[in-house]
Chain A
Amino acid sequence: MLNKVEDNVYEVPQGYQKGMRVPGRIFISDDLLDMVEPGTIEQVANVATLPGIVKYSMAMPDAHLGYGFPIGGVAAFREEGGVISPGGVGFDINCGVRLLRSELDVGTVRPLISDLIETLFREIPSGVGATSRLHVSDRELTDAFLGGSGWAVEQGFGTRKDVEHCEEQGCLKGADPAQVSLKARKRGRPQFGTLGSGNHFLEIQRVSEIYDSEAAKRFGLFLGQVTVMIHCGSRGAGHQICTDHLGVLSGAVRKYGIELPDKQLACAPIGTPEAKNYFGAMACAANYAWANRQIISHWTREVFGKLLGEGEMPLVYDVAHNVAKVEEHQVDGKRERLYVHRKGATRSFGPSRPEVPASYSGIGQPLLIPGSMGTPSYVLCGQDRALELTFGSACHGSGRIMSRTQAKKTFRGTDIKKALQDEGIKVVATEPAILAEEAPGVYKPSRQVVDVVHNLGIARKVAQLVPLGVSKG
């Protein structure tokens, strides 16, 4: 049913499903396509039915079954006649990744790795039921919703330089705290400054390979260097904001007479009160997530400072994986303001975009692609070709291929821990079962996924990072 357009590009024809306004495009290799469930292709087709969608409903090479959009889904909507949908963002609004770099060599850190990862596990609350060391007031929570990373820096969690190295400078404009319910505040407050559980993690890594020495140098990366990757999102605040607005937007679908193939694609026409309110609340959650990662970075630096005398650890970059944003793109020769939804996808802006921080000008923004626990993570840089092909987007991870129940049947957490330990990777987690669910074998090989975006020219490989120590919630 899919048409191969060229290497790594497949088209979901407009006739695949009733009501598709545009075709679908899946950017994937032949090998990876074999791992994609039919439901995922159906979800790409479902997104193509939404009003005002531009060019294609897209999926990145890590695509897998989601709800509403597939995971790895990207779609852009016209300001005029388009919609905004929480189905294209997800519940964990601005789940994202950031990378801190040290000046330390792996040889210095390895003897201390157990102490280091256990201290990080203790100092940075993670797992279900973990509550934060922070006790923010209602007013402070509002300021965090409005200010994101910048707010956290003003409170003493980091430096101004950190803010420059965040996508959107760590603050999505248009946040409207009045659209955040009391429930979302109640869920978000005790979890502000916590890592979360599931696939969220904090990982100590070493740079194991450099592919592009010029870009690596500009990003401050060198072979054998120790880095820290933090993967988390907007916690209960984001989950509740999405839940609340999904209800409102379900009503909007009826009110504006929009036909949907999937209730999770509930949406409202851009410019309507329902759409504005959702966007204002979603921006609050995105900013909460940026502040959260900023606070966790600060605590990470404190631990490295205390144990290794290495407290600076500059931020390489921070990328959002689940977000809808207003961006300008070229469409049919004209500059247009579009609402770009990325659900399990990363922005990949090349050198021509003004959003790329000054320190990386001429190179492109860094992309951070986490692997699973035992597999490598990658740093890439954005390429201008992504603007032509994917509205400046690329993959966000490796993508699941095995269900959690199947993973628990196949793997035992204690075996996974031992196998990783034998490879020199120290893992701490609240429960062994979490390790089984997140075992390396449940994800696609991360190398194959990044090779697709590299070969397509939508992002370029810069460095490979392998884990030394992992803290899982």
Chain B
Amino acid sequence: MVNSVKGYEYLEHTADVMFRAYGDSPGEMLGSAALAMFNAMIDTGTVRPQRTWKVELRAESLEQLAYDWLSELLFLMDSEVVVFSEFQVDLKQDGEIWRLEGLARGEGIDRSRHPFENQVKAVTLHQFRVEGGADGWMMQAILDV
């Protein structure tokens, strides 16, 4: 599996990590966002994509779904003591409901090989936004570290 990402950038923030993630589609944007979040913790180049975790979510808005997707990855990281480096996200809109089927690939945390620089505690809603249209998609988030 190759990262289906368009890219992301970090913005200056005094205490926390702020990023913008981009994609041609909302799914691609969410893959970029996940990579931005994990690269804020560790050089994901050190993480072997050995196992795959499946994430299924539904929400009433794309913004809510974006928040839930990132939060779900943090939950998996802590509860299963794992770290991810590749992501793939498929989205479907069903009337008012957005559905996400996501894959996260990674491995168990091995402290001898995984040089964590910090840990994201949570995704904040402060200045959280998702924007998009025919020209592409962008989301912005501030992570509590």
Taking a contact as CB atoms closer than 8 A, the residue among B12, B17, B145 that contacts A406 in the complex is B12
C-alpha gap A183/B121 in the complex (Å): 14
The answer to whether A431 and B115 touch across the interface, beta carbons within 8 angstroms, is yes
Q: Is the CB of A264 within 8 A of B126?
A: yes
Segment among A66-74, A270-278, A305-313 that sits at the interface with chain B: A66-74
Asked if B103 is at the interface (CB within 8 A of a chain A CB), the reply is: no
Q: Which residues of A from 212 to 257 have beta carbons under 8 Å from B?
A: 236, 239-240, 242-243, 246-247, 250
Residue B91 interfacial (CB < 8 Å): no
Chain B nearest Cβ from A128, distance in angstroms: 4
**Contact B15 A64, beta carbon cutoff 8 Å:** yes
CA distance A40 to B68 in the complex (A): 27
Count of chain A residues with Cβ under 8 Å from any Cβ of B?
48
Q: List residues of chain A with CB within 8 A of the CB of B14.
A: 37, 64-65, 400-403
Residue of B nearest to A408 (CB): B117
Q: Report B-chain residues with C-beta under 8 Å of the C-beta of A408.
A: 117
- Stretch from B26-34, B74-82, B93-101, B132-140 at the A interface: B74-82
Q: Do A437 and B117 touch across chains, with their CB atoms under 8 A apart?
A: yes
Contact among A186, A400, A401, A434 with B118 in the assembled complex (CB-CB below 8 Å): A434
Chain B residues contacting A183 (CB-CB under 8 Å) are 75, 79
> With A65-B13, A430-B111 in contact, is A187–B79 under 8 Å at CB?
yes
Closest residue of chain A to B16, judged by CB? A67
Nearest first, the 5 closest Cβ-Cβ pairs linking A and B are A129-B109, A67-B126, A128-B116, A263-B125, A186-B79
Checking B71, B142, B145 against A243 with a beta-carbon cut-off of 8 angstroms, the contacting residue is: B71
**Is the CB of A336 closer than 8 A to any CB of chain B?**
no
Bound: A301/B122 CA distance, A: 32
- Give the complex CA separation of A392 and B30 in angstroms: 44
User: Is A404's CB within 8 Å of the partner chain B?
Assistant: yes
Known A91-B121, A431-B116; judge A186-B126 contact (CB<8 A). Answer: no
A90–B68 alpha-carbon span in the complex (Å)? 18
Number of interface residues of B (CB under 8 A): 38
Contacts of A37 in B (CB 8 A): 14
Interface of B is mostly: loop
Check: A17 CB closer than 8 A to any chain B CB.
no
Q: Given contact pairs A128-B42, A243-B122, A262-B127, enumerate 15 new A-B contacts (beta carbons under 8 Å).
A: A64-B14, A65-B15, A67-B126, A68-B126, A91-B144, A128-B114, A130-B111, A186-B78, A190-B81, A191-B78, A246-B125, A247-B67, A262-B126, A264-B125, A404-B145
A403 in contact with B144 (CB, 8 Å)? no
Say yes or no: A197-B119 contact (C-beta < 8 A), given A128-B109, A183-B79, A403-B12: yes
- Residues of chain B having any CB pair with chain A under 8 Å: 10, 12-17, 41-42, 64, 67-68, 71, 74-75, 78-79, 81, 83, 109, 111, 114-119, 121-128, 142, 144-145
CA distance A264 to B128 in the complex (A): 9
Do B123 and A243 touch across chains, with their CB atoms under 8 A apart? Answer: yes
Q: Is the interface of A mostly helix, strand, loop or mixed?
A: mixed
Bound state CA distance, A187 and B42, in angstroms? Answer: 20
B116 to chain A, nearest CB (A): 4
Q: Give chain A residues whose Cβ lies under 8 Å from the Cβ of B111.
A: 127, 129-130, 430
Q: How far, in whole Å, are A250 and B125 apart by their CA atoms in the complex? A: 10
Chain B residues lying within 8 Å of A236, measured Cβ to Cβ, are 78-79
User: What separation, in Å, do the CA atoms of A405 and B125 have in the docked complex?
Assistant: 21
5 contacts between A and B (CB under 8 A): A64-B14, A239-B78, A239-B122, A240-B75, A240-B78
Given contacts A127-B111, A187-B78, A263-B126, whether A437 and B118 have CB atoms under 8 Å apart is: yes
Among A91, A246, A400, A404, the one with the most B-chain Cβ atoms within 10 Å of its Cβ is A404
Residues of B contacting A129 in the complex (Cβ-Cβ under 8 angstroms): 81, 83, 109, 111, 114, 116
Query: Once bound together, how far apart are the Cα atoms of A434 and B74, in whole Å?
Result: 20
Q: Given contacts A91-B144, A183-B79, are A430 and B116 in contact (CB under 8 A)?
A: yes
| Residue A131, interface by CB 8 Å | yes
Chain B residues closer than 8 Å to A197, beta-carbon distance: 116, 118-119
Instruction: Tell me the minimal C-beta distance from A345 to chain B in angstroms.
Output: 15
A191-215 interface bits toward B, Cβ cutoff 8 Å, 1 = contact, 0 = none: 1000011100000000000000000
Q: Which of chain B's residues have a CB closer than 8 A to the CB of A286? A: none
Bound form: Cα–Cα A196–B78 in Å: 11
Contact: A403 with B124, CB < 8 Å? no
Give every chain A residue within 8 A of B41 (Cβ-Cβ).
Answer: 128
Closest CB in chain A relative to B120 CB, distance in Å: 9
Please determine whether B128 and A263 come into contact, CB atoms closer than 8 angstroms.
yes
Whether A22 is near chain B, meaning CB under 8 Å from some CB there, is no
Do A239 and B121 form a contact, CB below 8 Å, given A129-B81, A262-B126? Answer: yes
Interface status of A92 (Cβ within 8 A of chain B): yes
Closest to A266 in B: B125
Given A129-B116, A186-B79, A198-B145; A92-B126 close (CB under 8 Å): no
Q: How far is the CA of A129 from the CA of B74 in the complex (A)?
A: 12
Closest CB-CB distance, A424 to chain B, in whole Å?
26
